[in-house]
């Protein structure tokens, strides 16, 4: 059983502060790493799909980095706003997994307070 | 773009009855759809993968006769929980992916409560 772990489980951020959190995954058999943002009562929103070691992706104030050799990815939120409050999920897929199979972490719940 | 709907959003049923959940891709053709289940405080767990016009592929430990999946068109997949029992109470969520795509687009999920 492969473990995809996210830390911390939850964090509180003051509006305007920047924050980051981690997703760790098996470094062998790596194919892709996905990040999603999931707001309560909504569909998970796809943020990034990352496949290359050293890759960095950016979407507005959110960015992510990837280290496939050591098996981790960081997600950064710059200048947090209340609308950034959500659970952020990462998901791993491996070369030997059936096409499209994603293994999810339990998520990091971010609460941004004004 | 890339919107996936799911219906119903929540359902309560009696033990022994069957429940059907629909997953639709509204603005793209989904060659592959996925069904996940999430128990409280746990991660999304893949139950099965379905390709349009083919039989679904179930993950280890998921009973195919209990969780019937149909993917009859490029925009619709259904999950039927047959003879539901209280232990089937969970959050069920689908995702859909277009041809050649890596990204899976998720529906909003269905909360099932079996009494």
Tally of helices (H runs) and strands (E runs) in chain A: 0, 11
Length of chain A: 114
Average pLDDT, chain B: 95
Rounded Cα–Cα distance for residues A33 and B112 (Å): 29
Point out the residue among B2, B43, B49 whose CB comes nearest to the CB of A104: B43
**A2: confidence class by pLDDT, cuts 50, 70, 90:** low
- Provide the pLDDT for residue B72: 83
CA B39 – CA B101 distance, rounded (Å): 28
pLDDT (tens digit per residue) in A40-80: 999 999 999 999 899 999 999 999 999 999 999 999 999 99
Distances, alpha carbon A100 to alpha carbons A92, A96, B80, B90, in Å:
10, 11, 22, 23
DSSP chain B: ---EEEE-SEEEE-TT--EEEEEEESSS--SEEEEEEE-TTS--EEEEEEETTS--EEPTT--TTTEEEEEEETTEEEEEE-S--GGG-EEEEEEEE-TT----EE---EEEEE-
pLDDT surpassing 70 at residue A6: yes
Q: What's phi and psi for B92, nearest 5 deg?
A: -110, 130
- Considering only CA atoms, which of B82, B100, B62, B109 is closest in space to residue B13? B82
Taking only the tens place, the pLDDT of each residue in A79-114 is 999 999 999 999 999 988 777 789 999 999 999 999
Q: Which residue of A has its CA nearest to B96?
A: A100
Q: Considering chain B, what percentage of its residues have pLDDT values greater than 90?
A: 87
How many residues appear in chain B? 115
Mean pLDDT of B16-44: 95
Chain A residue with the nearest C-alpha to that of B93: A43
- pLDDT for the residue B96: 96
pLDDT score recorded for residue A95: 85
In whole angstroms, give the CA distance from residue B24 to residue B38: 20
- Using the Cβ of A2 and the Cβ atoms of chain B, whether some distance falls under 8 Å is answered with no
Per the model's pLDDT, the better-predicted residue between A29 and B62 turns out to be B62
CB of B105 within 8 Å of a chain A CB? The answer is: yes
Q: What is the pLDDT of residues B46-97, one digit of tens each?
A: 999 998 888 899 999 999 999 999 998 999 999 999 999 999 999 999 999 9
**pLDDT for residue A100:** 78
Q: Are B112 and B25 in contact (CB under 8 A)?
A: no
* Distance from chain centroid for Cα A29: 19
Rounded mean pLDDT of B88-109?
95
């Amino acid at each position: 059983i492969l473990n995809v772990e996210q830390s911390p489980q939850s964090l509180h951020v003051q509006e305007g502060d920047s924050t980051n959190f981690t997703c760790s995954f098996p470094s062998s058999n790596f194919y892709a790493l996905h990040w999603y943002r999931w707001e309560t009562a909504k569909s998970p929103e796809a943020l990034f799909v990352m496949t290359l070691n050293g890759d960095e992706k950016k979407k507005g104030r959110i960015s992510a980095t990837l280290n496939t050799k050591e098996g981790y990815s960081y997600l950064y939120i710059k200048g947090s706003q209340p609308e950034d409050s959500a659970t952020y999920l990462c998901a791993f897929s491996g070369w030997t997994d059936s096409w499209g199979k994603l293994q999810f972490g339990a998520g990091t719940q971010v609460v941004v307070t004004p | 773009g890339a919107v996936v709907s799911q219906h119903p959003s929540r359902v309560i049923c009696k033990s022994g009855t069957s429940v059907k959940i629909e997953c639709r891709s509204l603005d793209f053709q989904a060659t592959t759809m996925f069904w996940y289940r999430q128990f409280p405080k746990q991660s999304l767990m893949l139950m099965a993968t379905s390709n349009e016009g083919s039989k679904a592929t179930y993950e280890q430990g998921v009973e195919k006769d209990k969780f019937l999946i149909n993917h009859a068109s490029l925009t619709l997949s259904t999950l039927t929980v047959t003879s539901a029992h209280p232990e089937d109470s969970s959050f069920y969520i689908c995702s859909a992916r277009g041809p050649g795509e890596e990204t899976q687009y998720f529906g909003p999920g269905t909360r099932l409560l079996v009494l």
